[in-house]
Amino acid sequence: MPAETSQTVATRGAKTVRPAVAARPRKAPRARVVGAQALPLNQILSGDCIERMNAMPEGSVDMIFADPPYNLQLRGDLHRPDNSKVDAVDDAWDRFDGFAAYDRFSRAWLKAARRVLKPGGTMWVIGSYHNIFRVGAALQDEGFWILNDIVWRKSNPMPNFRGRRFTNAHETLIWAARDEGGKYTFNYEALKSLNDGVQMRSDWVLPICSGGERLKDEAGRKVHPTQKPEALLHRIILGATQPGDVILDPFFGSGTTGAAARRLGRAWIGIEREEAYRTAAAKRIAEVKPYDMEALQTTRSRRAAPRIPFGQVVERGMLRPGMVLSSADGRRKAKLRADATLSADGTTGSIHQVGAAVQGAPSCNGWTFWHFEKDGALVPIDWLRQQIQAEAEA
C-alpha cells in the first residue's frame, strides 16, 4: 500500500472540510460506503494509482477521466528560434524504458481502472500520437468497449519550432464503456443545448489552458506542465455523468477533474504521486464555488423521461371524454373517447393514427398535433404529459 496520506477539500452538502496539507491536522474525510469498504470521496490520494485503485471497492465509480503519462521520450532540450528553452514535458513521471515498459504500465492501470468502474460506467483517456494508439489497443484488450474517439483541436497550439513537421494541434480522447452493450450515461440533449441546439460532434475546438486558469508558483512558473483546460472537463462531465456521480482521476496532476467535478456537483477521487501537485490541486479545488443545484439541472433526453401513455391523461380527468381536440390552426377536429382513442370523419384510433389520418400524412406525433382549450388559448396535449412527468420526477 502507498503511504496513507490524502487531501480532502471542502465538499458539497452539510459537511465542509478544509484542504489538508501535511502540517495541518486532518478532519474526518467524507466517505460513501460500498459493500464493506468506504469510498474516499473528494480526496486526493497519494502514491501509485495502480495500488490505490486495487485497494478501492470493486464497481464503485461512475466515470474515470485518465490523463496518463505521454511517454514523450524527449531527447535533449527543445529551443525556440530565439534560443529560449521550450517548457516541454521532460519530468521523471513521463519516462519509461521503451514501449514495452509503457505497455506493461498501461495494461496494469487499465485493468485496475476497469475493476473499480460500475457496470454502466465509462472511461475517458486523453493522449497524443505518442501514446494514444498504444493505450487504445490496450484498453480494447482489457475488455473496454470504445464508444467514440474525440479530437480536441487546440485553437491556440504551440507552433512547431523547427518547422520539420506539422504543428501538433490536437489531442485524442477515447471514450469507452466498461463492457460491450453496457448501459451508460450520455446526456445527449444537454450536450446539444451546450452546442446551440446542434448535435454535438466528435471534433471539439477548445483553447489550451492559459491565462488566469493556469496555475503558477510564486516565481511565475507553471505548477504543472500538462494542466488541462477546465472547459474540456466541463463538457465531458456534463455529457457523461449525473449530479452526485463519482468521478475518479488516477493521474490527477493539478486537479482539473476535481475542480470541474466540484463545480458541477459531482463527487470526485484523485490519485497523484507527486506531493507538489497534490498540494496545488487541493488548494485549487478548495477555492472552487459549486454551482447551485437548480443550475445543475440539464436538458433531459425524451428517451430518459418516463413514458406516459395518453390514457393516463384521460384516466386522471385532465381531459374529459366527449370533448373536442383540434389542430393548432383549429381546422382539424376530433372527439375524445373514454378509452383515450379519438374519432374524426369516421376514423377512430390513437392520437397519432387519427392525427395522421386527418392530414392524409403517413405519420403524426399526436402529442404535439392535438390541442385543447385552456384559458381561451389552444395548448398542445403534450403540456399535460409534461405535468405528469414533472410530478413523477419531483
Ligand X SMILES: C[S@@+](CC[C@H](N)C(=O)[O-])C[C@H]1O[C@@H](n2cnc3c(N)ncnc32)[C@H](O)[C@@H]1O
Using CB under 6 A, list all residues that contact ligand X.
Answer: 48-49, 67, 69, 93, 224, 226-228, 251, 253-254, 256, 271-274, 277
Shortest Å distance, C-beta 41 to ligand X: 18
Residue with smaller CB distance to ligand X, 70 or 144 = 70
In our burial notation (b when 16+ CB lie closer than 10 A, e otherwise), range 63-92 reads: bbbbbbbbbbeeeeeeeeeeeeeeeebbee
Shortest Å distance, C-beta 383 to ligand X: 45
Distances (CA, A) of 28 to 17, 43, 247, 258, 259: 8, 11, 20, 19, 21
Residue with smaller CB distance to ligand X, 105 or 161 = 105
Residue keyed to cell 373514454:
338
Shortest Å distance, C-beta 15 to ligand X: 26
Residue with smaller CB distance to ligand X, 114 or 371 = 114
CB 323 within 8 A of CB 343: no
Shortest Å distance, C-beta 271 to ligand X: 5
Residue with smaller CB distance to ligand X, 102 or 367 = 102
CB 139 within 8 A of CB 112: no
Shortest Å distance, C-beta 120 to ligand X: 24
- For the chain, what is the total number of helices (H) and then of strands (E)? 11, 17
Shortest Å distance, C-beta 31 to ligand X: 21
Shortest Å distance, C-beta 248 to ligand X: 12
Rounded-to-integer distance, Cα 328 and Cα 120, Å? 42
Residue with smaller CB distance to ligand X, 28 or 92 = 92
Q: Report the residue number whose CB is nearest to ligand X.
A: 253
β strands within 192-327, DSSP E? 203-206, 246-249, 267-272, 324-326
Residue keyed to cell 506542465:
225
Residue with smaller CB distance to ligand X, 65 or 310 = 65
CB 20 within 8 A of CB 7: yes
Specify the pairing of strand 31-34 against strand 37-40. Answer: antiparallel
Residue with smaller CB distance to ligand X, 192 or 273 = 273
Rounded-to-integer distance, Cα 193 and Cα 263, Å? 19
Shortest Å distance, C-beta 17 to ligand X: 22
Specify the pairing of strand 246-249 against strand 61-66. Answer: parallel
Residue with smaller CB distance to ligand X, 154 or 333 = 154
Residues 6 or more apart whose Cβ sits within 8 Å of residue 329: none
End-to-end CA distance of the chain: 44
